């Protein structure tokens, strides 16, 4: 791009959590920079002083750190165009706002809340979007000086023309032209001296030499006004890449405030960071091939922002679960074991061979936090109904289940080695001997040792992990249960 080094930025507001949409913006901005060997910056947008959240900066740093989206410049790592925290740039915004006033592209506005509320009500009554009526544009220099001197609070507004049109270009949405009479004289500087996002984004993106502005489509409609600011200053407009919204369903945007999971929530639920990042990369982008699993290096190589979709992306938890299970399978089993241990410890107090449990669960786990619910029966057998023995497909009923368990019991009692092969071979011999289908022996045993309809692994694996004594005890209980219903 014009031979200039690509520079992108992630500009989160410190809200205290990392929305999935924000993380995607960070990822795309990172990928666009790194694909071209450029710089990725972090800028903290904290000019809304009423919305300060403790620990919010840590959430931002932590997210970029764990996901590996390392920034080249930012508040914590420094850089040549700092400060990178907007509240520390306050004097800069005032300086630039004054420049605009001198050029006639901005003006002081002293209207109080009552007057603005009245204007707002009027527009509402007429069913029109709010637009400031330029009341203060015509104040004389003396009037302005007088008001400032006597301490009347003021804001600084952009001075937009009422005729003509303004055009801006988005890399995905193309050229967009709007009528200037639709452009509100938006506030650039608030009465507390802090800039609005609308002003700060332009000043900072310019001063930080940002070449590609990556953000959500919620900023699309304001972009003509931003272009007017760039033009007023005589600055080059960066490339805009407005990313489509991420939806919970066809009608609702994903929203942390409405209970949708944030990045931290997903980690907490037991999704792996790499799986989340991979999944998020595909929310609105695809490589044009069928490949779905990408590590960060591959994403850097393949990412082409011109392939970002314009259509909203649906956050599909089923797909994320699948992707997570793929990432879990890719882990060496020892690694999985380490991750699973805290979940085992929540429910298993007995002395079981937990590594065996990991071998079993490694290829059968979608989300780590579901492990306790899948394995709690190892600790304590649930009080199940004998109806669990009846299984149409396995062709089991009360009678043949009882026969199978009664025949299996002495054989298992007699096993010297309690390992998978011995349990398996002895029970398959029994199947042959009884001349029944496998399920007629295996289903009752699985039911007896687990007391559950769905289990990770089959009868043999469960029996092996449970150990001989406990497996036999449970089979005896099963026999009693079945005798009662004959
Ligand atoms: N602070 C804005 C937000 O969090 C940033 C938008 C942008 O990237 O320009 O939505």
Measuring CA to CA, how many Å separate 158 from each of 64, 73, 137, 168, 233? Answer: 35, 30, 10, 17, 12
| pLDDT (0 to 100) of residue 49 | 75
Backbone φ and ψ for 467, nearest 5 degrees, come out as 95, 160
Question: From start to end of 39-185, where are the E strands?
Answer: 39-42, 106-109, 155-158, 165-170, 174-179
Work out which ligand 1 atom sits closest to the CA atom of 25. 8
| pLDDT (0 to 100) of residue 259 | 86
Q: In this structure, are 108 and 188 located in the same domain?
A: yes
Mean pLDDT of 249-259: 89
Work out which ligand 1 atom sits closest to the CA atom of 218. 10
Q: In this structure, are 455 and 404 located in the same domain?
A: yes
Work out which ligand 1 atom sits closest to the CA atom of 15. 4
The residue range of the domain holding 349 is 331-379
Residue with the two structure tokens 């953000």: 215
Write out the two tokens for 267: 């980690």
Question: Which one is catalytic: 34, 190, 225, 256?
Answer: 256
Confidence of residue 143 (pLDDT cuts 50, 70, 90): very high
Q: In this structure, are 412 and 478 located in the same domain?
A: yes
| pLDDT exceeds cutoff 90 at 22 | yes
Q: In this structure, are 392 and 466 located in the same domain?
A: yes
Work out which ligand 1 atom sits closest to the CA atom of 215. 8
CA of 13 from ligand 1 middle (Å) equals 7
| pLDDT (0 to 100) of residue 208 | 98
Is residue 256 part of the annotated active site? The answer reads: yes
Pocket test residue of 21, 201, 220, 243 for ligand 1, highest count of atoms within 8 A of CB? 201
- Model confidence pLDDT, tens digit, residues 266-314: 999 999 999 999 999 999 999 999 999 999 999 999 999 999 999 999 9
Q: In this structure, are 436 and 345 located in the same domain?
A: no
Minimum CA distance residue for ligand 1 atom 9: 215
CA of 235 from ligand 1 middle (Å) equals 21
Instruction: Specify the pairing of strand 313-314 against strand 7-10.
Output: unpaired
Q: In this structure, are 183 and 95 located in the same domain?
A: yes
Tell me if 340 is assigned to some domain.
yes
Segment 430-436 long-range contacts (CB within 8 Å, at least 24 positions apart): 430/404, 433/407, 434/403, 434/404, 434/407, 436/400, 436/404
Pocket test residue of 7, 45, 239 for ligand 1, highest count of atoms within 8 A of CB? 45
Report which of 182, 167, 93, 189 is spatially closest to residue 132, judged by C-alpha positions. Answer: 182
> What is the CA angle 399-404-410, rounded to 5?
135
Pocket test residue of 8, 10, 13 for ligand 1, highest count of atoms within 8 A of CB? 13
- Cα–Cα distance, 465 to 131 (Å, whole number): 71
Write out the two tokens for 143: 């009037």
Minimum CA distance residue for ligand 1 atom 3: 12
Q: In this structure, are 426 and 336 located in the same domain?
A: no
Write out the two tokens for 355: 């590594």
CB within 8 Å of 372: residues ≥ 6 apart: 343, 344, 346, 347
Q: Which of 348, 379, 410 is the last residue of a domain?
A: 379
Confidence of residue 53 (pLDDT cuts 50, 70, 90): confident
The CATH number given to whatever domain includes residue 421 is: 1.10.10.350
pTM for this model (two decimals): 0.91
CA of 12 from ligand 1 middle (Å) equals 5
Tell me if 375 is assigned to some domain.
yes
Minimum CA distance residue for ligand 1 atom 2: 12
Confidence of residue 2 (pLDDT cuts 50, 70, 90): low
CA of 134 from ligand 1 middle (Å) equals 28
CA of 439 from ligand 1 middle (Å) equals 58
Work out which ligand 1 atom sits closest to the CA atom of 12. 4
Minimum CA distance residue for ligand 1 atom 10: 12
Tell me if 438 is assigned to some domain.
yes
CA of 181 from ligand 1 middle (Å) equals 26
CB within 8 Å of 459: residues ≥ 6 apart: 427, 442, 443, 445, 446, 449
- Model confidence pLDDT, tens digit, residues 361-413: 999 999 999 999 999 999 999 999 999 999 999 999 999 999 999 999 999 99
Higher local confidence (pLDDT), 4 or 357: 357
Q: In this structure, are 394 and 372 located in the same domain?
A: no
- Cα–Cα distance, 60 to 62 (Å, whole number): 5
Verify cis geometry, omega within 30 degrees of 0, for the bond prior to 282.
Answer: no
Q: Which of 323, 358, 379 is the last residue of a domain?
A: 379
Q: In this structure, are 95 and 187 located in the same domain?
A: yes
Q: In this structure, are 367 and 454 located in the same domain?
A: no
Q: Are 92 and 203 in contact (CB under 8 A)?
A: yes
| pLDDT exceeds cutoff 90 at 32 | yes
The CATH number given to whatever domain includes residue 101 is: 3.90.800.10
Mean pLDDT of 214-228: 96
- Model confidence pLDDT, tens digit, residues 455-471: 999 999 999 999 999 99
Mean pLDDT computed over every residue of the chain: 96
Question: Using N-to-C axis directions, what is the helix angle for 438-450 and 398-413, rounded to 10°?
Answer: 80
Please tell me the total count of domains within the chain: 3
Instruction: Go through the chain and tell me how many residues it has.
Output: 486
| pLDDT (0 to 100) of residue 256 | 83
Tell me if 188 is assigned to some domain.
yes
Q: Which of 312, 347, 379 is the last residue of a domain?
A: 379
CA of 208 from ligand 1 middle (Å) equals 15
Q: Are 113 and 124 in contact (CB under 8 A)?
A: no
| pLDDT (0 to 100) of residue 1 | 47
Minimum CA distance residue for ligand 1 atom 5: 11
Mean pLDDT of 404-431: 98
Among 13-17, 128-132, 240-244, name the most confident range. 240-244
Q: In this structure, are 346 and 440 located in the same domain?
A: no
Pocket of ligand 1 (CB under 6 A): 11-13, 45, 197, 201, 215
Q: In this structure, are 445 and 392 located in the same domain?
A: yes
């Amino acid at each position: 791009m014009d031979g200039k080094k690509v520079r992108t930025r992630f500009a989160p507001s410190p809200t205290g959590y990392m929305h999935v949409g924000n993380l995607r913006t960070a990822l795309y901005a990172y990928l666009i920079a790194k694909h071209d060997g450029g710089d990725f910056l972090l800028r903290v947008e904290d000019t809304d002083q009423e919305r300060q959240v403790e620990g919010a900066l840590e959430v931002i740093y932590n997210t970029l750190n764990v996901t590996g989206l390392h920034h080249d410049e930012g508040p914590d790592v420094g850089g040549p165009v700092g400060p990178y925290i907007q509240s520390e740039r306050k004097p800069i915004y005032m300086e630039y706002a004054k420049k605009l006033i001198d050029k006639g592209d901005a003006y002081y506005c002293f209207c109080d809340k009552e007057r603005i509320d009245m204007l707002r009500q009027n527009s509402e009554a007429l069913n029109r979007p709010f637009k400031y009526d330029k009341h203060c544009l015509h104040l004389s220099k003396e009037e302005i000086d007088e008001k400032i001197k006597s301490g009347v609070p003021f804001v600084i507004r952009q001075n937009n023309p009422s005729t003509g049109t303004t055009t801006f270009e988005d890399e995905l949405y193309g050229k967009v032209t709007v009528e200037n009479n639709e452009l509100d004289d938006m506030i650039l500087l608030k009465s507390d001296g802090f800039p609005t996002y609308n002003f700060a984004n332009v000043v900072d993106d310019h001063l930080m030499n940002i070449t590609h502005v990556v953000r959500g489509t919620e900023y699309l409609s304001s972009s003509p006004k931003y272009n007017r600011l760039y033009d007023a200053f005589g600055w080059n407009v960066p490339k805009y890449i407005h990313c489509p919204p991420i939806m919970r369903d066809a009608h609702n945007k994903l929203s942390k405030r409405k209970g949708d999971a944030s990045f931290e929530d997903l980690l907490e639920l037991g999704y792996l960071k790499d799986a989340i990042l991979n999944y998020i990369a595909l929310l609105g982008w695809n490589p044009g091939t069928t490949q779905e699993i990408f590590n960060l290096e591959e994403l850097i190589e393949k990412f082409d922002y011109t392939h970002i979709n314009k259509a909203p992306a649906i956050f599909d938890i089923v797909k994320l679960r699948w992707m997570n299970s793929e990432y879990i399978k890719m882990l060496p089993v020892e690694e999985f074991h380490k991750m699973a241990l805290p979940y085992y410890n929540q429910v298993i107090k007995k002395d079981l061979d937990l590594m065996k449990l990991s071998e079993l669960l490694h290829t059968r786990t979608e989300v780590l936090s579901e492990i306790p619910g899948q394995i709690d029966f190892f600790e304590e057998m649930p009080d199940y109904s004998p109806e669990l023995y009846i299984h149409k497909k396995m062709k089991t009923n009360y009678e043949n289940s009882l026969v199978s368990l009664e025949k299996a019991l002495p054989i298992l009692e007699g096993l010297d080695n309690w390992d998978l092969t011995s349990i398996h071979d002895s029970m398959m011999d029994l199947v042959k001997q009884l001349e029944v289908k496998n399920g007629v022996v295996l289903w009752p045993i699985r039911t007896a040792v687990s007391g559950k309809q769905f289990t990770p692994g089959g009868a043999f694996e469960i029996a092996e992990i449970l150990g001989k004594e406990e497996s036999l005890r449970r089979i005896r209980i099963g026999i009693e249960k079945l005798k009662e219903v004959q």
